[in-house]
Amino acid sequence: MCTGTAPDHFALMDGKSTSIHEYAEPDDAVIVAAESCPAEAIRVWAANGTVLAPEQ
């Protein structure tokens, strides 16, 4: 699901979606991927530590 939503940021590795980059700018595709992740495995933080996605 993440790879389809944000292919510039996620790739399939060993059958699992994995982040391509350790750090990424929180662009719209990454926010949508975090909000739609069924496993809730993606978190997007601002530089100040505030969670941007998924919304709590």
Count, in order, helices (H) and strands (E) of the chain: 2, 4
pLDDT digits (tens, 9 = 90+) for 4-26: 999 999 999 998 889 998 887 77
The per-residue pLDDT for 39 is: 87
- Which residue range(s) make up the domain with 24? 2-53
* Type and span of the H or E element at 4: helix 2-5
pTM for the predicted model, two decimal places: 0.80
Query: Strands 16-19 and 44-45, how do they pair?
Result: unpaired
Total count of domains within the chain: 1
Cα Rg of the chain (Å, integer): 11
Q: What is the DSSP letter of 29?
A: H
Q: Return d(Cα 55, Cα 10) in angstroms, integer.
A: 20
